[in-house]
Structure 1
Amino acid sequence: MIRGLENVSVLTHISMLFLTTIMSIFAFGNPFFLLTISLPYLIFYMIDRSPGNGEVMRFRFNWWKNLPIWKYYCRYFQLKIEKTKHLESTFDSTNSGKLNGSNPITYIFGYHPHGIAALASFGLTNNGCDFDTKFPGIKMSLLTLTNNFQLPFYREYLLLSGLSSVSKKNILKLLENYISVCLVPGGAKESLAIDFSGNKINLVLKNRKGFVKIAITNTKNGRRTALVPIFSFGENELYKVVKAKEGSFLKNLQLWLKNNIGFTIPIFFGRGIWNADFGLMPYREKVTMVFGNPIEINLDNFEESSEETVVNHFHHLYIEELLKIFNENKDKYGYQNKVINFVD
């Protein structure tokens, strides 16, 4: 019974794009719903800018965050959060609008690796794996592609779950509202870099410095900001990937999609709903998300430094902390023969 509920929770999440598309066709194609659903929703859809203006918390309801389905979702992956250090609260509590002190800190969490769909990261955004308990007083929005919010009804599913746009404008607005963010720096390109043939974990991070620049900008605006790397042991094992050869039609198509549309389609497979051999369900691998120490942006010693120097400095500190939490924990989670490989 429990395993069945776990399967349903994960299947519902990975099928939500398809389910909401069917819902849209049914709602907009049925004259009966024209005045009751279709037109009111279209008006709301056109005027609401919550995905990109830092107002996603308008959709954060405790009843949604605490739905039992999220517990089953996290149980499917045996999802666990491991802290290396206590993080200072931004608010007095997650249910309070009162800030913690006169100059509270906000965080930019970086999630690694991307895997196929960063499925475990979704466990952070609701209360399935007790993020609110582990990090009380920190309100956080998980970031995803802006294109995802152009899809009717799917956008509401994402908003209710605390997701918002990964655009620079939205991130700065969220930080301005003292809402921390979690993003996946490797993005779609990293899903193509998964390599099961050796011991390397390829992370697209060498030239991904935009999140560091945003943290510095927010600090210059007078708000304390810290970078926190997260390494998710097990994320890459949730699916198997068919690696396209360099120069092949499939590889060129994937890169074209990534460069022109913003996402790509790696060829992958997992397990079935009732079998463990083949299907589109992720494997039931244990996933542990290890949170690193916060790297607070302190600009006191950089008055005369160029922006590039400052960005490179904190980007280097971030990479060092990411490598530290990986190397200190890899034996514990079966990664003893693996190394991180930073790629472009």
Structure 2
Amino acid sequence: METRQKQWLEIIGAYQLVLSFLFMGTFFSLLLLFLLFTPLWSLSVLYFVWFFLDWNTPNQGGRRFEFMRNWSIWKQLRDYYPVKLVKTAELPPDRKYVLAAHPHGIMSMGVLCNFGSEANDFSKHFPGIRAVMAGLHTLFYFPVYRDYVMSFGACSVNQRSLDFVLSQPPSGQAVVIMVGGAQEALYAVPGEHHLVLRNRKGFVRLALRHGASLVPVYSFGENDIFHLKVFAPNTWQYLCQMTFKKLTGYSPCIFWGRGLFSADSWGLLPFARPITTVVGRPIPVPQSLRPSEEEVDHYHTLYMQALEKLFEEHKESCGVPASTHLTFM
């Protein structure tokens, strides 16, 4: 009986995050608009006043609440897959860090669980480090959802926001950036490891401006929790995807998991596949307020080499075949 109850708690933990990710922003946007035409119109007005007064908070490090990060449901989410956090080196709290995380996957479940919550005791593994997740700026345009996302320690992924976080005293400030972004979600095919990285150098410039160490982070199994429909290049479906991405910043994709009550049916519940997030060794980066392209290219190359080494060292212990290699795009 207890085992069955535990299984359902884990399913609820995993399912609530998927539903929040997909529908929470739209739901509350429509709800607040609907309430404007009801006797409860004052609730919407009060929230929208708050919304505009609080507009810049996502660009100023967000607004985290530790009780949300320690919410027990994240432990159920962790146990569903399960999600693990592997520490390979110390991150001394007297420095600043740019944690570059890969792959994006469909929903970045490993990053959300390990850095957006204390489900795997991030603060105990890395004492003195305050990690702030950087999310797509359009997420913070949705009422209520923006507050929910910020409560886990998220901010907007733009230069102003990231510069603000890394310029805050004392040291120990860290930003977690999904370098491949939404575009990488289009390559989240189970068993494959394709990264959008070759021309993504903004995170290196950020590290150079602040003298922040670069830290490679890889979540093995991230691409295995959903199936993905991949459209061939130059088809009308693919062109629609690219057009929508340019207009909104999102990469729309068709994905599916298992059914809520049956593993043999299709649904939105992710498959229970192990996710292991490995945090690599920091790469020291000097401070350069106006880094040259040569400096950027040099540290970008060092980073790619370090990430590839991290992948090769840990892939077999994380269930990836020895013949598998990273592909950079």
With the length of structure 2 as denominator, give the TM-score of the two structures. 0.91
- Residue number in structure 1 paired with 2:176: 182
- 1:248 is aligned to 2:253: no
- Residue number in structure 2 paired with 1:18: 23
Q: CA deviation at 1:200?
A: 4.9
- Quick check: 2:215–2:283 contact (8 Å CA) kept in 1? yes
Secondary structure of the structure 2 residue equivalent to 1:339: coil
1:25-40 residue pairs with structure 2 within 5 A?
Answer: 25-30=30-35, 31-35=38-42, 37-40=43-46
Change (3 A) 1:293 1:145: same
Residues of 2 paired with 1:134 and 1:181: CA distance? 16
Residue-by-residue CA offset, 1:261-312 (whole Å, 9 max, x unaligned): 111112211111112132111110001001110012125xx99x97011001
Q: CA deviation at 1:19?
A: 3.8
Which ranges in structure 1 are unaligned for 5 or more consecutive residues? 90-103, 220-224
Amino acid of the structure 1 residue aligned with 2:121: D
- Quick check: 2:28–2:145 contact (8 Å CA) kept in 1? no
Residues of 2 paired with 1:313 and 1:2: CA distance? 49
Q: CA deviation at 1:27?
A: 4.1
Residues of 2 paired with 1:19 and 1:54: CA distance? 23
Change (3 A) 1:126 1:194: closer
Which ranges in structure 2 are unaligned for 5 or more consecutive residues? none
- Residue number in structure 1 paired with 2:260: 273
Residue of structure 2 aligned with 1:61, choices 41, 61, 65: 65
Q: How many aligned residue pairs are there?
A: 316
Q: CA deviation at 1:172?
A: 0.4
Residues of 2 paired with 1:265 and 1:23: CA distance? 21
Q: CA deviation at 1:24?
A: 4.2
Residues of 2 paired with 1:153 and 1:60: CA distance? 14
Residues of 1 paired with 2:242 and 2:33: CA distance? 34
Residues of 1 paired with 2:240 and 2:70: CA distance? 40
Residue-by-residue CA offset, 1:57-86 (whole Å, 9 max, x unaligned): xx3222222110111111112111111101
Amino acid of the structure 1 residue aligned with 2:222: E
Residues of 2 paired with 1:268 and 1:337: CA distance? 26
Q: CA deviation at 1:195?
A: 4.4
Residues of 2 paired with 1:81 and 1:153: CA distance? 29
Change (3 A) 1:26 1:188: closer
- Residue number in structure 2 paired with 1:340: 326
Q: CA deviation at 1:226?
A: 0.7
- Residue number in structure 2 paired with 1:108: 98
- Residue number in structure 2 paired with 1:93: none
Amino acid of the structure 2 residue aligned with 1:85: A
- 1:194 is aligned to 2:200: no
- Quick check: 2:189–2:224 contact (8 Å CA) kept in 1? no
1:260-339 residue pairs with structure 2 within 5 A?
Answer: 260-277=247-264, 278-298=266-286, 307-335=292-320, 336-339=322-325
With the length of structure 1 as denominator, give the TM-score of the two structures. 0.87
- Residue number in structure 2 paired with 1:77: 81
Change (3 A) 1:5 1:314: same
- 1:167 is aligned to 2:171: no
Question: Share of identical aligned residues, percent?
Answer: 31
Bigger mean CA deviation after superposition, 22-31 or 327-336: 22-31
- Residue number in structure 2 paired with 1:235: 222
Change (3 A) 1:33 1:21: farther
Change (3 A) 1:194 1:126: closer
- Quick check: 1:202–1:340 contact (8 Å CA) kept in 2? yes
Q: CA deviation at 1:171?
A: 0.3
Q: CA deviation at 1:246?
A: 1.4
Q: CA deviation at 1:28?
A: 3.9
Q: CA deviation at 1:22?
A: 3.1
